[in-house]
Structure 1
């Protein structure tokens, strides 16, 4: 099972830790695109109109100034850097198999070491253009399955690659029935990849959070997406709809191998 998450605006800036190293991120095929965005962000952050371009108010300018030196900034696991509502609810642990999409890195795992930064996907960076358009092009043809396949294998002490099939199975779901299941918990802004409808065995779930009147909710949706993330990670062998029903009422619409899940959390 692959869980796709957005980043969060709220972040905990690592006070210490390994300096940022682009080459240590998962999915190295994205590094050329990442480097372009990183360098454009550094240059933009030095400008007098940086706040306007990055859509950051006065309270956030300290982060903008700090990221002028982001290439040397200390890092922590992405699951620890992101601290927003979704992440508070998800309580991600080491080894949780999630993919996090962002305007700066495209996509990373929860374990990738990243610095704190300020850059939303709704920004248009000088020299790059609208980030959502940029990442849609950079990630064209990319899929969770391909991404996990390309992730580097762990190395034994003698330097040889070891068979990590058991570890990989555990980290992405741990059950053959859910191996080709993707649950898209991203907000619309970060949906820069599309379902792979060519693979009949692959099932893609997108998630909508609504109230009892079937009205889509916005801010609190992050909280419930986080709770659903945690529930799915805790029950990787269970069908997605069964796990969702532990949080509220559900409705499902099928479109080929795409499942549109609406969750109405208890109490709404």
Structure 2
């Protein structure tokens, strides 16, 4: 299983005195050059007088944008601790121990606008950057498409890919054709119908991620295909607000199948 996560908008800075970012220590060394290109471009843009407008963020994030100008010297911590938004709070990657932690180390990949792809143990600083167009570099999804295809091809080939990303991050990397690709969707029962939800969707994707990583049975418990992921996800029914789980086939060749977790009317 390859569990693909988005980065988190909410980030927790590493403690003062922690070692700074070292691109040469990150997983997927073939991404070092494109990582450096984004890092340098982001530093230049963030130092510009119109940085907030260029990065499409509000004034409340001015301090985070200023922090982008010194990312090479900022303290770094494992991505599992830096990413601290709703999905990551539910997944609790930094709290995993034993076999679950070992499974996360080999099964979880975060697709990042700044770093391309990361594992939970990769040490990074807190930063502010979405998968957008970065002045001086262009659309970041296009910047990462070929490097990520090369870096992740062997890992994803022939495996089941459980994809918790949103559209902009999907544009940066699609699993190879021989992968069993599942996009995770969350809907909620409301007024007799079903609607797509945002906050609860992030939380539920995090719940699913933790469930897949912490199930008993060691390596044998790790899903190997879409049917096994469906069976595992269905064991969440009756907890965390999940009332049903469905699997829909891809709408066309090259598209993901859809794993839908349905929440009750909260």
TM normalised by structure 2 equals 0.81
Range moving further from structure 2, 133-142 or 106-115: 133-142
Deviation at 1:91, TM superposition (A): 0.6
Q: Which of 202, 206, 213 is residue 233 of structure 1 equivalent to?
A: 213
Deviation at 1:78, TM superposition (A): 0.2
Counterpart for residue 108 of structure 2: 98
Counterpart for residue 118 of structure 2: 108
Number of residues of Structure 1 aligned to a counterpart in Structure 2: 234
Tell me how large the CA RMSD over aligned residues is: 2.1
2 CA distance for matches of 1:15 and 1:251? 42
Counterpart for residue 218 of structure 2: none
Counterpart for residue 258 of structure 2: 260
Q: C-alpha offsets along residues 83-125 of structure 1, whole Å, 9 cap, x if unaligned?
A: 0000011011344231001110011001000001011113x21
1 CA distance for matches of 2:155 and 2:180? 16
Q: Structure 2 matches for 1:79-98, cutoff 5 A?
A: 79-92=80-93, 93=96, 94-95=101-102, 96=104, 97-98=107-108
Counterpart for residue 76 of structure 1: 77
Counterpart for residue 157 of structure 1: none
Counterpart for residue 3 of structure 1: 3
Q: Which runs of 5+ in 2 are unaligned?
A: 216-220
2 CA distance for matches of 1:148 and 1:12? 29
1 CA distance for matches of 2:92 and 2:146? 32
2 CA distance for matches of 1:12 and 1:189? 23
Counterpart for residue 196 of structure 2: 216
Range moving further from structure 2, 255-264 or 217-226: 255-264
Q: Quick one: structure 1 residues 98 and 75, their matched pair in 2 at CA, closer, same or farther if it must change by over 3 Å?
A: same
Deviation at 1:148, TM superposition (A): 7.9
**Secondary structure at 2:194's aligned position in 1?**
coil
Counterpart for residue 58 of structure 1: 59
**1:27–1:147 Cα contact (<8 Å) kept:** no
**Secondary structure at 2:261's aligned position in 1?**
strand
1 CA distance for matches of 2:207 and 2:28? 27
1 CA distance for matches of 2:155 and 2:44? 30
2 CA distance for matches of 1:267 and 1:71? 46
